């Protein structure tokens, strides 16, 4: 069990040319640490590759830095965020205020982002995945697939792919509202990034997918179509509020006063931005789906929302 809405969290290990490799670390909970220590020989661990720095994926990284000799590899965008954390928090605060959320809410969410529920200790040592020669030496392909977060990486090795949160079975993984950490100015455009990532993910069809949540993924295409259908369907609901300028007001009108959890409110705001970006440029998703030969199964739903 975990304290997260998504439920169980997975990490994966393998041995490559005598070097023990770990993908993700699990959450920073006593139960997570116990499972990790029972499953992985920390004395032999050499490399730790993180798919993205959400707390349930890198939560044990600091502990592993102290209790193993393994090198820890973080995605580049996560390193930019962690090394300028105060600026990042301030930037997300600005985005939420611009969306119409009151100062009191933004402060509550800031405290949540900085709490142990959302932020794991940063290890004393780590490297940037994209700047390291180690993955290529080990035969691991690193594929940038942003969308859920701006740092999402997929690790592909000999017919298997560790996909983090970008490919999950029957889960619509919310695209996080985030500051663009390349510029620290303005919103990261999840929707445009996802359209490019979709084509890369579709190319994994036939591989064995190792997701971070749920036990298996029978088909990459099925997972992509599930996600796209949810995106289009929810965009149809958001379209009804096209005349409402502020995202905070759209959240209030759709979900009403019963929605009080600050993090769930943040997730819903994130989704509304994503849906609005889709409605503003639906051709990007259509082009990506056509490239992946996946547009046919969703064409009627797509046109029903976009053309109405």
What is the mean pLDDT for each group of 10 consecutive residues in the chain (308 residues)? 68 95 94 92 97 94 96 97 95 96 95 89 95 97 96 97 94 93 95 98 96 88 96 96 96 92 94 97 98 98 93
β-strands 19-23, 127-128: how paired?
Answer: unpaired
What does the pLDDT read at residue 4? Answer: 59
Q: 53, 43 in Cβ contact below 8 A?
A: no
What does the pLDDT read at residue 144? Answer: 98
CB atoms closer than 10 angstroms to residue 276? 17
Beta bridge partners of 74: 128
pTM, full prediction = 0.95
């Amino acid at each position: 069990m975990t304290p997260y809405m998504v439920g169980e969290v997975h990490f994966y290990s393998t041995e490559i040319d005598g070097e023990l490799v770990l993908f993700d670390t699990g959450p920073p909970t006593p139960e997570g640490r116990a499972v990790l220590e029972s499953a992985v020989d920390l004395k032999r661990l050499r490399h730790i590759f993180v798919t993205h720095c959400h707390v349930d994926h890198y939560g044990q990284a600091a502990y592993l830095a102290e209790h193993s000799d393994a090198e820890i590899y973080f995605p580049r965008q996560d390193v930019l965020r962690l090394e300028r954390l105060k600026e990042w928090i301030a930037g997300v605060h600005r985005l939420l205020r611009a969306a119409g959320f009151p100062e009191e809410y933004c402060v509550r969410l800031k405290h949540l982002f900085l709490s142990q529920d959302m932020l794991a200790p940063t290890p004393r040592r780590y490297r940037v995945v994209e700047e390291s020669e180690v993955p290529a030496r080990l035969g691991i392909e690193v594929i940038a697939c942003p969308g859920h977060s701006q740092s999402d990486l997929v690790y592909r090795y000999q017919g298997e792919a560790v996909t983090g949160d970008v490919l999950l079975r029957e889960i619509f993984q919310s695209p996080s509202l985030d500051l663009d950490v390349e510029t620290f100015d303005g919103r990261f455009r999840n929707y445009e990034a996802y359209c490019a990532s979709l084509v890369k993910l579709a190319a994994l069809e036939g591989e064995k997918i190792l997701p971070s949540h749920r036990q298996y993924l029978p088909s990459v295409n099925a997972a992509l179509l599930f996600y796209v259908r949810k995106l289009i369907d929810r965009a149809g609901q958001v379209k009804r509020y096209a005349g409402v300028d502020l995202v905070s007001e759209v959240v209030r009108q759709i979900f009403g006063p019963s929605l009080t959890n600050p993090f769930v409110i943040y997730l819903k705001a994130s989704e509304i931005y994503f849906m609005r970006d889709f409605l503003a440029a639906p051709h990007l998703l259509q082009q990506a789906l056509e490239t992946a030969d996946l547009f046919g199964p969703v064409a009627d739903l797509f046109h029903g929302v976009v053309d109405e």
